[in-house]
Amino acid sequence: MEREVEELREYFCAGKTREASWRKQQLKGLLKFVKEREEDILKALKLDIGKHPVEAFRDEVGTLIKDINIALDNFDKWMSGKKIKLPLAAYRTSAKLVAEPLGVVLIISSWNFPFGLALEPLIGAIAAGCTAVIKPSELSPASSALLAKAIPAYVDPEAVKVIQGGIDVCGQLLLCKWDKIFFTGSSLVGRIVMAAAAKHLTPVVLELGGKCPCIVDSISNSWLTEIIIKRLLGGKFGICSGQVCIGVDYILVERKQCSNLVELLKAGIKRSLGEYPEEFVARIVNIHHFRRLTGLLDEFGVKQSVVYGGRFDENKLFIEPTILVDPPLDAEIMTGEIFGPLLPIITVDKIEDSINFINSRPKALAIYCFTSNNKFMQRITSETSSGSLMFNDTIVQYAADTVPFGGVGESGFGRYHGKFSFDTFSHEKAVLKRALFPDFWFRYPPWTNKKLELLRAAFAFKYFNVLLVALGMKKAKKIPTNI
């Protein structure tokens, strides 16, 4: 493995990956992979997680095509660098920021979006001019195998390697020296990654998870309510069966609104998934996670709070969309990330109490809030902290390339998507060039009263005073003698 990483470093040092034409060619190769192998990708996703092909296209194939095209369209602009204005103290100096590739990077990904979570960061790494190893998840073996087999045929195999394996392989990879590690997964493993990276002072991006709350302010029975319900359910059961880092983890609603909300949610589930949700929702990834999720319902006091669903089939790894009202707050369903199709509703006296509820828990990757009250929106914005905050919809922030995607606090740090991905794998180097004349003599010793006065004026941006002192028209104070 070390040899493979060394080869990637040699290739990076040879300079090929810095060429704009090379980078574009690789991005085009990636696009070709996604387009040409669409059917294989959809099949792999069906095998690994039982994703419906339409959902799989929306969340993986379509999103990747869009994002690679965005990178191709904007790549020249991203690479061109930025001119920077300087203060007069740096008179006759020009400055710009030049993006240089970080080097050899490691991308460790999760199984719930096995193509997107491996290839989205790769788009940024390639655009930035890096070489990369992708370590996809062992929990989505069909998708990982497809990536390992096909990527070398579409993208320069000397620059991008897909290394399959589980914890052991990941552990070995983490022993190597990288220029950046981009990790998507749990906060538990995130800590292991960060500790390993610290040994080589390697910067890391940690795309982690957590519990994403969704506040539902007043619910009326207008036609708009139907849209709210669709968007809310879409952000839970309509995407990988709730096995999503930015999926709705639980709802906060006023007690008096709760029964109305439950009825609307039940009707919404029946409308979109019908009597046989197995057909439209992804399955649970494996038996371990299936038992973890059904086990959450077994904890004391939790099953009694189920108001809808609760049916499951171990052979099919299927769990019915399930709604719970006020499960015990100290039960695991409310203390840990659910990552599955169980949706607790927590009732509060006043909707404003949801702010304290959220703030008494670790910072979320996303907060959602359905409200038409602008004052409440402002309060949520200024009084809570989360990776992203979305009003009146769910998940959409993931697809918006002009906003960064990433966490804060326990939900991780670092960001990507669009230009942010390019920046994540680049070092923005400050490049300055100065004329040799004029030279500000008062920067250098021997120190005098006059030089101190000139420095005082220059650091205060009082350039007229600089002139007066320089011409002897303003008297210089004495250097303090008691120092």
Q: Which residues bind ligand NAD (CB under 6 A)?
A: 108-112, 117, 135, 137-138, 166-167, 170-171, 184-186, 189, 192, 207-209, 245, 337, 339, 365, 412
- Pick between residue 124 and residue 185 the one whose CB is nearest to ligand NAD: 185
Give the separation between CA 172 and CA 47, rounded to whole angstroms: 28
Residue nearest ligand NAD by beta-carbon distance: 209
Work out how close the CB of 327 gets to ligand NAD at its nearest, in angstroms, rounded to a whole number.
20
- Pick between residue 166 and residue 301 the one whose CB is nearest to ligand NAD: 166
- 350-358: Cβ within 8 A, 24+ apart: 350/254, 351/215, 351/217, 351/218, 351/252, 351/253, 351/254, 351/376, 352/376, 352/379, 354/213, 354/215, 354/252, 355/379, 355/380, 355/383, 355/384, 357/213, 357/252, 358/213, 358/215, 358/252, 358/384
Q: Select which of 176, 214, 240, 245 is catalytic.
A: 245
Instruction: Locate 191 and state its tokens.
Output: 């800590």
- Pick between residue 193 and residue 264 the one whose CB is nearest to ligand NAD: 193
- Pick between residue 327 and residue 404 the one whose CB is nearest to ligand NAD: 404
Judge whether 198 and 123 are in contact, CB under 8 Å: no
Q: For 317, list phi and psi in degrees, rounded to 5.
A: 50, 40
- Pick between residue 415 and residue 419 the one whose CB is nearest to ligand NAD: 415
Amino acid, single-letter form, for residue 347: T
- Establish whether 130 is a catalytic residue: no
- Establish whether 13 is a catalytic residue: no
Cis bond upstream, residue 438 (ω within 30):
yes
Work out how close the CB of 290 gets to ligand NAD at its nearest, in angstroms, rounded to a whole number.
13
Q: Select which of 207, 254, 337, 410 is catalytic.
A: 207
Work out how close the CB of 410 gets to ligand NAD at its nearest, in angstroms, rounded to a whole number.
10
Work out how close the CB of 436 gets to ligand NAD at its nearest, in angstroms, rounded to a whole number.
50
Give the separation between CA 50 and CA 313, rounded to whole angstroms: 14
- In sequence order, what are the beta bridge partners of 323? 308, 343
Work out how close the CB of 245 gets to ligand NAD at its nearest, in angstroms, rounded to a whole number.
3
Q: Which residues are catalytic?
A: 207, 245
